[in-house]
Each structure stands twice: as structure tokens, then as C-alpha cells.
Amino acid sequence: MTEDIYAFRYGAYGNTEAIIAKNPGLALQYFNYINKGTAFTDEERRRLGLDGALPPSPRSLASQVVNSAEKVKNKSDDVERYIYIRSLFDRNATLAHALIKSNIKAYMGIIYTPTVGYACQHYSSIFRTANGIHFYPGNIERAEDILRQYAHQGIRVAVVTDNQGILGIGDQGAGGIAICLGKLMLYTQGAGIAPWHCLPISLDVGTNNKALLADDFYLGWRHERLTGTDYLRFVQRFAKAFRAVFPNALCQWEDFSKQNAFAIRDAYLHDLISFNDDIQGTGAITLAGILTAMQIKKEKLEEQVYLIHGAGAGGVGVAEQIETALLEKGLSREEARGRIYTLDSQGLVTTDRKMEPYKEKFAKDPSRLPWLQQAGDGTLENVVRNEKVTVLIGTSGQSGCFTREVVQAAAANTSRPVILPLSNPTSMTEALPADIYQWTNGQALVATGSPFPPVEHNGQSYRISQCNNVFVFPGVGLGSIASGAKEVLPSFFTAAAHAVSQCVKPEAMARGELLPPVSELQDVSLKVSQAVGLTAIRANVGHLCAFSDYQHDNDEEKLNRLITKMRWQPEYLPIELAP
């Protein structure tokens, strides 16, 4: 058991100050939270029983980062780079995070999208080291005992998936845990939640991916997916165990199928400190881009007409977040929903047809739309023209569906249309940024879901802002934890959206940029966590964790001090011997 080898010593603010080695010796090299590799100093080697176990010339962490970066550079492709960085994390978590931090813009595309999609699809063949927890029907009844094995790490956040709705590539079975691993690395990079406080969890309820079931080397549970009551009981058993073992930890639901995503999020709103990033994180980062656009346009949120093309989890999540923001502006629920239109594969979502329950709240009564005479009239272009849409959002996964005619129809409704083709990967984007700028003569305000290079138009270069959830979920997590929030409210995500938008510099807005660059992730996450934590306290769902004596400060000062102290940086900690 790892708790027999090491423990953590925490400071007054819950920050990790040192690692306690309970049994010195060679085994210390084999635990990734302790291991420093060649950076163990001469004094540490003698004191910790490592004398002679390493080459005689120690390296600094900075030197290790340079050396590791060169190794990554020399790999043949991003898949090999992904394998190298994951293997480095499994040997030396501090060095892996120091490497990623050295160039977060470059490495984020390796540790997460788009490369992580390949890692999910080929999980069994590239498997190196076990990470996290795999629950399946054979062990779910022992879930509480299994979770308790990680209690010594003081788990603060878990990313949990049932592996069914992975990154636009669908059911990936056991491979979905790679998403959890990537998201948690970003929790550490953005929010500074130390890697030992993070727990990836796969709810392996089987797979309907026939290629995986036919693969002799597939590592997951070899059965078709549980459904109905069996599926719900499985999730309930996990949720009950998680609440019992980690009552103060955040549970982020990740990459569930559309209907399950909403059902599970809503079922555990009050039982767990939880949220669904595909729904709420997507909604918040999209709202952030829209808020910035309103500053650029000098217009009001409540004056816009919104159309979301793609009424899945992400699309409805965007609609929900816009609705929440409009309610906070003083609109009634009916008025707010009246400004939001959703489309799916059948066209405009209307009340006169059968649909999944999660789509119903934004369905339109066709009798109130005189231009909608028959089912075929509810096309994307018709809705944009007839309802005077000014904000066009794509979450459909339909490449090229934002055509010249659709984009120019939006441009006819406003001097500066907001066009957000958010589907990823790049091959699924609703429109290419270069085309949008050309069709609108550079007047559109654009952000995308996938990363795109700058666009040159009329002699001007435009940086394409990326609507990336990474600006939201790490800060929401840290703000919830630091404030002691007992549930995650919709207002947390509105607060997060405002905080992200406020991080866009005036000179960037003057260039039409809607979101900050990824290189500013740590600063953005700090602002988001502070905004979310303060929202929790003011909503009376949070109470500041009593980590220190700061009774002379007000709540905001207490919170900001606590968050700053809690954030871990990838630097080697002192290692102390147990008394």
C-alpha cells in the first residue's frame, strides 16, 4: 500500500509543504509523487538511502525540463509524444508538469485534444501503467473499499466518465479514462490542484463498440453496455460510495451520452459536489466569448438573438448558460427562452414533434412563427433570416454547415455578427475562420472550438480565439473546493464566464479577439476560482475552509489568500523522514 511508503505534510492553508518518507531506500524512486530522478541532491541521496543508486552528477529541475523537452521534440509524432509525457508522469509527476508548464500552448494539444482521442481509441495497445480506478460490474459492490485506498492522498477532485460520448468519436470503452487523465493534468496546470489530489475514474459498464469487443487485446469489460435500471443502479452505487469516502471532493462528470449526461447531472445536483463539463463548461466558455463580443460591439446581452445549431449536450448546455445569464439581466424565463433557438438534425426544434426530454425547454411553438408553414421550413438559413439571429453558435459536428449564405444572413442582421463554429476536431468545424472573415469583410467576431492558425484578411492578421473549456473547469473546481461549496450552482458558471471575459485585454478586443490565449491559463484559472468561490459564499452554499487564522480579513480577502496558498506549482517538495 502506498500509504505505508509516504504521506504528505500540509500547511495551514491546506497546501502540501513536504512529503514524508516512511521507509527510506530504493523504493522511493518508484513512486511518481516522490521521485525526483536525477534531481535528488547529494544530501538527499545519503539521507534517503539512495546513495549509489543514481549517476553521481545531480541535475536541477530546470535542466531536467530542457532535457525532457528535447526528447519530446525528437519523437516522430504527437502520439509518441503523448506516450512519452504520460510515461514521464508515471515516473516523475513534478517533472512532467514542469515540462508541460514550460510551453502549455504546445503541450496541451498533446496531453489533451486532439491527441488524446487517439489515446482513447488505442488505449489497450499503448497501455503502459495503471492509473486511476476502473469500476465495472465485477467490483462496483466494493466501490467504497476501493475508493478508501486513495483516501491518504486527500482527493479533492475526480473526473468520472462512462466512456460513451468521447470527443466526437463515441463509445471507446475502457479507453475513455484517458480523457480523465488529460482533464486532471489540466486541473493541475490551470488551478494548481496537486496531482496527488486528483483521481481519474472509469465507470466501465461495457461497450457497444463492436471493434473493441472483437479485439483479443481489449482491456475493458467485455460486454455490451448496461442500460436502463442496471445502468442507473451502477451509477447510484458509485455515487453513494464516492459521497461516503470523499464528501468534500468535487466530482466532474465527463463524456456521458447526451441523455445520460443531463439525467446524471440533475440526479446528483444536491447529493454530490458535481457538474458536467460537456454541458456547463461548454456553456460557460461560450458565454465568455459572447460577453467579450458585447463589449466590442457595445451592445447588451439581452438585445441579441441566439441560434445554437446542434442540440446535443454541449448545445443545450450553451442554451442553458445563455438563459441563466439573461435571467440575471432581469428577463423573465419566457423572455429569455424566446431569444434562444436550437436546431438539430431535423431542423428547428419545435414542440410539435417527439424529442429527447433535455431538448424540450428550448423547443418553439410553431404556431407563433408565421414563416414556419411546414416542417422543411425550419432550416438553418431560414431561422437566421426570419428571426434576425445575431449570435450563431455551432455544436453540430456537421462540417461546413455555416455556409456563405448562412453567415451573410447573420451579417445582414447586425453590423458585427458573432459566429462561433465550436465543433471539433478541425475536420468537423461548421465553417473555417478564413471563410467567415472573407464572407463578412472582416466584420464577424469569431471564436472556434478547435485551434486554428491566425487568419490574414485585407492586410490584417486575426488571432482566432479558441472556446476551450480549460479556461473554465479548473477554476470552477478550485473555487468550489476553496469556498467549501456543498453544491455547484448555475451561477458559478456565469461568474466563471464573466471572469474569463474580463481577462481579455483591451488591445486584444480591439483586434476582435474574444478569449484570452492558452498561455495565460494559470492567470485566468486564478480569476475564475476567485469569482466562483465568492459566488458560492454570497449564495450561502459555501463556507471558507478553516485552514488558517485570518479572522481580520473579509470573505473576499480570506478566499483570495486561501486560493493563492492552495495552488501547487511543479517544483520539487522537501522529503522528510518519518520520525
Q: Which residues are catalytic?
A: 112, 183
What is d(CA 239, CA 45) in angstroms, rounded to the nearest whole number? 43
**Chain mean position to CA 29:** 31
Question: Residue 154 in contact with residue 196, Cβ under 8 Å?
Answer: yes
Question: Residue 247 in contact with residue 156, Cβ under 8 Å?
Answer: no
For 461-487, b/e burial (b = at least 16 CB within 10 A) is: ebbbbbbbbbbbbbbbbbbbbbbbbbb
What is d(CA 320, CA 282) in angstroms, rounded to the nearest whole number? 10
What is d(CA 50, CA 313) in angstroms, rounded to the nearest whole number? 51
| Dihedral over alpha carbons 246, 248, 253, 259 (to 10 degrees) | 100
Question: Residue 418 in contact with residue 390, Cβ under 8 Å?
Answer: yes
Give the cell for residue 382.
431560414
Burial of 38 (0-12, 13-18, 19+ CB in 10 A): middle
What is d(CA 559, CA 495) in angstroms, rounded to the nearest whole number? 15
Burial of 90 (0-12, 13-18, 19+ CB in 10 A): middle
**Which regions of 345-462 does DSSP assign to beta strands (E)?**
347-348, 391-394, 418-421, 445-448, 455-457, 460-462
Contacts of 285 (CB under 8 A, 6+ apart): 467, 468, 469, 471, 472, 497, 500, 515
Question: Residue 327 in contact with residue 361, Cβ under 8 Å?
Answer: no
Q: How far is CA 89 from CA 100, 317, 574, in A?
A: 10, 33, 19
What is d(CA 495, CA 492) in angstroms, rounded to the nearest whole number? 5
Give the cell for residue 427.
475536420
